[in-house]
Amino acid sequence: MSGPVIAKDYVPLAPLRETLLTIDGTGSSRAAEASTESASAESAVAAPPLKCATPPATSALGTAQFLQTTTDFEGAVAAGLPMGSMSSTTAKKVLIQDWLRTANCLSTDGQTELVYGQGIRLFASSDGFDVEGDVTLGMLAANSTLNSKNSKVLVSIVGFNDTQLTTMGSSIFGPINVDRFSVIDGLAKKMIDRAATLNNGTVQRLGVVFPPSSSAQHVMSAFAVQQIANGLSCNDTKSKFANLSPPNAALIASVYEELEAPCDNSAPDLVARARAKVSLGNVKIRM
């Protein structure tokens, strides 16, 4: 795939189990396996799984963007990404290339902003390739060929139900080496070109918005810690703000949860209050 690489502004979540089509090399989807993977990942991220009551319509999706990230196998699985038959013991680096068109919506919890959309996702890994920093498809292909290492590449189609995409995706599945590099790269570009022409299908959950860090957020976090130290509940803390945004509400909740205090009307226990006081030291926050 090719295109401008942009910063990822959300944390990926497992697609809800009915939404994933991952090509297994024969052209068929791994729907049953994906359901199991998705269910286990969702239980680790949230229970019940976060979702929007009314997801955005396909007409509301923004301009398609290309994202490229590198993670380790454990991180990819924890996020619910479909690693298929890739090995957790040998796949040290996993390359993720996403072509996505997205829109945000508010989760049914009333606090969390989610990302929904459609896309083409390519996952690639080469055994024993453990280098610092990000990797590219070419680097994985070279490692596989020069060092005689096993490698894998697979494609996940999110939100589209198109025979041509499925056929091209099944042709990509397999090893990634120097001989196959140009074929895989070319097919991935053709899949993007094809997806760009489609205006049907469904809009699926892709992740949860991760707001950028700011000094205001650091102050908000410190204020929540002080509220815990003072024995005030999570809801008391939220009520201090007349127009509390969903991201800031989620930030306050995360502080309470981090210090093992419930985010409801219950007062923090003595253990949580002691942790908060240690965290604050001599800092005092007024808001």
Q: Do residue 130 and residue 242 come from a single domain?
A: no
Specify the number of domains making up the chain.
2
- Structural domain containing residue 231: 215-280
For the cut 80, the answer to whether the pLDDT of residue 103 exceeds it is yes
Query: Biggest alpha carbon distance in the chain?
Result: 64
Q: Based on the fold, state whether residues 14 and 132 are members of the same structural domain.
A: yes
Whether 41 contacts 79, CB under 8 Å: yes
d(CA 124, CA 215): 37
Identify whether residues 43 and 176 lie together within a single domain: yes
Specify if 273 maps to a domain: yes
Distances (CA, A) of 147 to 16, 54, 103, 140: 38, 49, 42, 10
Residues 168 and 252 grouped into a single domain: no
Residue that is last in its domain, among 183, 209, 235: 209
Q: Is the dihedral of CA 43, 49, 50, 56 positive or negative?
A: positive
Percent of the chain exceeding pLDDT 90 equals 26
Which of these three, 187, 209, 231, is where a domain ends?
A: 209
Which of 209, 243, 263 terminates a domain? The answer is 209
From first CA to last CA, the distance across the chain in angstroms is: 48
* Cβ neighbours around 98 below 10 Å, total: 24
The tokens for 198 are 């489609």
Are 136 and 231 part of one and the same domain? Answer: no
- The confidence score (pLDDT) of residue 32 equals 34
Residue 56 has pLDDT above 80, yes or no: yes
Backbone angles phi, psi at 234, to 5 degrees: -60, -45
Q: How confident is the model at residue 46 (pLDDT cuts 50, 70, 90)?
A: very low
Residue range 176-197, pLDDT digits in tens: 899 999 999 999 999 999 999 9
Q: Half-sphere exposure of 46 toward its Cβ, with a 13 Å CA cutoff?
A: 18
pLDDT, tens only, 135-150: 889 999 998 898 888 8
202 and 226 both lie in a single domain: no
131 and 162 housed in the same domain: yes
pTM greater than the 0.85 cutoff:
no
Q: Tokens representing 23?
A: 């090509």
Q: Is residue 139 part of a domain?
A: yes
> Is residue 2 a part of any domain in this protein?
no
